[in-house]
Amino acid sequence: MTKRNIMHNKNSNAEVDLSLRQFIKNLGYTAGGLALLTTVPWLQSCTPEKLAEIKNQKARVAILGTGSRGTYHLHNLLKIPHAQIVALCDNYQPNLNAAAALCPTAKTYTNYHKMLESKEIDAVIISTPLNWHAPMVLDSLAAGKHVFCEKSMALTMDECKEIYDAYLKTDKVLYFGMQRLYDKKYIKALQMIHSGVIGDVVGMRCHWFRNHDWRRPVPSPELERHINWRLYWESSAGLMTELATHQLEVSNWAMKSVPESVMGMGDIVYWKDGREVYDSISLVYRYKNGVKTTYETLISNKFNGMGEQILGHKGTMELAKGEYFFEEAKPAPGIMQLINQVEEKVFSTIPVAGPSWRPEVSGEKKPLYVMGEKSSVNSGLSMIGAEDDGSEEMLSAFCQASITGEKAPNIVEECYCSTILCLMGNEAIKQQRKIDFPEKYIIPYIKF
Amino acid sequence: MTTIYYNYYASSSLFHGSILNIMGTRLDLVMIVENLAAGVRIWDGLVAEAKSLDELLNRFSANSEITKINHQASQQPVAVSDELWEILIDCKLYHKLTLGLFDISLRNFDKVELHTEQKTVFFKNSDINLDFGGFAKGYAIEKLKARLLNEKITQAFINFGNSSIGCIGTHPYGENWSVSVENPFNPTQILGEVFLKDNCLSVSGNTPANSKHIIHPETGKYVEGKKITCISTTNAAIAEVLSTTFLLTTSQEKSVIRENFANIAVYDEKEYYAQ
């Protein structure tokens, strides 16, 4: 992507969307047809041509849950040409009013069952506390709506399985907010990993660090559990389901398999303010071949930010930064250009000729960039959402699917696996022992 | 530290191998090959070849054959291997054809005695040292190319420290391999482009970090200035010889040398003056 594109993107959501779509189209092209796209099947319906087919059509969308994340989606929906927000629903009136002010033409509801009765709604976007995901997803599908639900999938493993079973039966489109699946730098980096650029994957390190109490202001004490739902087990599975889901999903994507077991610890180290969920977690997930993902999260120190490192025997991929490093040395810049040209099926001059070249003596490791230049980096500090992280693109793809009815394979499966893994992590902490992937939750998609 | 690595890009059947710190610089190979296993097998052969040439020709390496000769040949005639013998004979020929300007002794090649029957070398001056810096990389490219051709590789690009480049066939998506010559004194500036196909390029000149490395054999002084010469031809060793030589010549010498090489090689020459 050129610099001009990046600047342009900041101003226009439609451009962001088209840039991903063009990228997807190019993926198919570079692989000589569908060969490469088959490795990312959920993207097959997202080419610019497929978008053109639904020109002038609009998905009639309802937002269920108009808190911070719901409002983030609302802003994005307003910029998607093939989406029309027709309904808003929340049981917290101040948030509902704020959303209604942004979208005055939408009908408002405080009871989602009532909203689901409406024949005017094609699709529901759910961004509510985790304990509400399962009933709302199941009810929405049963009401004949297409559904986009925020991650994680649900509060318990049983609920996840129930959603998965409903997904197998429904003819509706079901998405979960695993936006890394729609983030160009992740897509490209994962394809590089799978083509062997960093060698065999031998380990993974994922972390998410913030220095913030993770609270929202509460206007009156009886609203504490309603507003700070993230902090209590009845409505949340804590940092695992709010943050780790994305990163465990990426680990599985890199490994093309799912860990068999997890061990670890979790505690409330710093924010001893009456919350129930841990503010410090360290876990080790083990894949069948012995490769491990170490997962760390802490919300009283932000020095390390957010990151996913895929460690290969020849190099390291820093997914969140879109950077990679070789263990021993990096290809000379001109040679790297040549390799990229051939990979992208283009030809041009490479700057490699000159009088004697001297090897660099500096031991400092300089990054190579997955996208050819520095990518915008999600610091992980925002509690709502980051710019250019695939969220807008995923939402646009969902709205398109709500018009065409075309399902996107793997999204539900990926979210299912990573949510179960998050919940297994919490179990390992609570039971202070190794937890194996429970047999009753193994689905055919899973390869260990 | 391991100084060798490779990568295979399966989606484009592209193999990239790299050796750092070989012959005082780095070697990169990019080739199109059907699979990783074949790529590794060929690459291993090239690495062995390049290492053995380093053992033969690198005068900065303690155990190389040339180091042994440099130490002993001023005391007594030293027997040399067949391969080194052939190289010495070639260098003597190029010395003659370039009017003495291409000189691996850096001073006075006439004082290097080559005894054809015994295949020995003797230095008649005690301060002589042989240096293949202006020849070895081109020679190595020729040998590596021969191996690749023998392995039926039809598209390959070999870069020896940017100053010596050899190729087989064309870029997979182009009609040639197109390289630009960078101004070493201003890396953002491109001095020119060279299109290569089944041939080689040698570039000679000074760089800011390395402004004293080419000695004029007649004056014994380092070549100064910012002239850069490029020779592209089918034989990488000849490209090396001429790019170094043309850095040193007067225009009169140059026309004689051109005539001398007229029957030996067809080549393109380019000259840049970097600022």
Residue B201 in contact with partner chain A when CB distance is under 8 A = yes
- Model confidence at A249, pLDDT cuts 50, 70, 90, reads very high
Given this model, what pLDDT does residue B264 score?
Answer: 85
> B230–A353: do the CB atoms touch at under 8 Å?
yes
A358 has a pLDDT exceeding 80: no
Q: Return the minimum-mean-pLDDT range out of A169-173, A210-214, B55-59.
A: B55-59
Give the separation between CA A262 and CA A429, rounded to whole angstroms: 9
Give the separation between CA A38 and CA B222, rounded to whole angstroms: 60
Q: Which of residues 143-182 of B touch A (CB under 8 A)?
A: 157, 159, 161-163, 165, 171-174, 178-182
DSSP per residue, A404-436: H----TTHHHHHHHHHHHHHHHHHHHHHTS-EE
Given this model, what pLDDT does residue B2 score?
Answer: 43
Given this model, what pLDDT does residue A395 score?
Answer: 95
B215 has a pLDDT exceeding 80: no
Q: What is the CATH number of domain A184-384+411-435?
A: 3.30.360.10
Q: Look at A45 and A74; give whichever has higher pLDDT.
A: A74
Testing the interface with B: which of A342, A350, A361 to mutate, by most B Cβ within 10 A? A342
Testing the interface with A: which of B4, B12, B164, B193 to mutate, by most A Cβ within 10 A? B12
Q: Look at B78 and A22; give whichever has higher pLDDT.
A: B78
Residue B80 in contact with partner chain A when CB distance is under 8 A = no
Residue B143's CB: how many other CB atoms inside 10 A? 17
What are the tokens at B91?
Answer: 């260098």
Domain boundaries, chain B: 69-123
The mean per-residue pLDDT over the stretch A113-128 comes to 97
Domain boundaries, chain A: 3-181+394-404, 184-384+411-435
Given this model, what pLDDT does residue B25 score?
Answer: 86
> A347–B162: do the CB atoms touch at under 8 Å?
no
Q: Return the minimum-mean-pLDDT range out of A148-152, A272-276, B203-207.
A: B203-207
Give the separation between CA B158 and CA A338, rounded to whole angstroms: 12
b or e along B25-58 (b: 16 or more beta carbons within 10 Å of the residue's beta carbon)? Answer: bbbbbbbbbeebebbeebbeebbeebeebbebbb
pLDDT, tens digit, 9 for 90 and up, residues A183-234: 989 998 998 899 888 999 999 999 999 999 999 999 999 999 999 999 999 9
Pick from B63, B238, B234: nearest CA to B137:
B238
b or e along B215-232 (b: 16 or more beta carbons within 10 Å of the residue's beta carbon)? Answer: bebeeeeebeebbbbbbb
Given this model, what pLDDT does residue A6 score?
Answer: 34
Residue A432 burial by Cβ neighbours in a 10 Å radius (0-12, 13-18, 19+): exposed
pLDDT, tens digit, 9 for 90 and up, residues A80-103: 999 999 999 999 999 999 999 999
What are the tokens at B67?
Answer: 């180091």
Amino acid (1-letter code) at residue A50: K
Q: Return the minimum-mean-pLDDT range out of A373-382, B86-95, B195-204, B248-257.
A: A373-382
Q: Look at A289 and A366; give whichever has higher pLDDT.
A: A289
Please say whether the beta carbons of A150 and A133 come within 8 A.
yes
pLDDT above 70 covers a percentage of chain A that reads 89
Q: Return the minimum-mean-pLDDT range out of A27-36, A419-428, B8-17, B53-62.
A: A27-36
Please say whether the beta carbons of A334 and A352 come within 8 A.
yes
Distances (CA, A) of A10 to A5, A17, A358, B30: 9, 12, 41, 38
Please say whether the beta carbons of A184 and A371 come within 8 A.
yes
Q: Look at B236 and A50; give whichever has higher pLDDT.
A: B236
Q: How far apart are the first and last CA of chain A?
A: 36
A9 has a pLDDT exceeding 50: no
Beta partners for residue A297, in sequence order: A208, A281
A418 has a pLDDT exceeding 60: yes
B230 has a pLDDT exceeding 80: yes
Q: Look at B129 and A162; give whichever has higher pLDDT.
A: A162
A30 has a pLDDT exceeding 70: no
* Angle CA A52–A53–A59, to nearest 5: 95
A38 has a pLDDT exceeding 50: yes
Given this model, what pLDDT does residue A196 score?
Answer: 86
- Model confidence at A72, pLDDT cuts 50, 70, 90, reads very high
Which residue in this structure is represented by tokens 């047809």? A33
Q: Please tell me which of the candidates B5, B10, B204 has its beta carbon nearest to residue A328.
A: B5
Q: Which CATH superfamily is domain A3-181+394-404 in?
A: NAD(P)-binding Rossmann-like Domain (3.40.50.720)
Give the separation between CA A4 and CA B272, rounded to whole angstroms: 34
- Model confidence at A340, pLDDT cuts 50, 70, 90, reads confident
Given this model, what pLDDT does residue A142 score?
Answer: 98
Given this model, what pLDDT does residue B211 score?
Answer: 67
The ipTM of this complex is: 0.88
Give the separation between CA A392 and CA A63, rounded to whole angstroms: 15
Beta partners for residue B229, in sequence order: B204, B271
Distance from CA of B91 to the nearest CA of A (A): 20
H helix or E strand, kind and range, residue A64:
strand A59-64
pLDDT, tens digit, 9 for 90 and up, residues B97-136: 999 999 998 888 889 999 999 999 999 988 888 999 889 9
Domains A3-181+394-404 and A184-384+411-435 in one fold: no
Eight-state DSSP code of residue A332: P
Given this model, what pLDDT does residue A11 score?
Answer: 40
A383 has a pLDDT exceeding 80: no
Q: From edge to edge, which strands make up the β-sheet containing A280-286?
A: A368-369, A323-326, A315-318, A306-312, A201-209, A292-298, A280-286, A261-267, A435-436
Given this model, what pLDDT does residue A357 score?
Answer: 57
Pick from A76, A181, A86, A92: nearest CA to A124:
A86
H helix or E strand, kind and range, residue A132:
helix A130-142
Please say whether the beta carbons of A435 and A262 come within 8 A.
yes
Given this model, what pLDDT does residue A16 score?
Answer: 61
* Angle CA B152–B154–B159, to nearest 5: 110
Please say whether the beta carbons of A92 and A226 come within 8 A.
yes
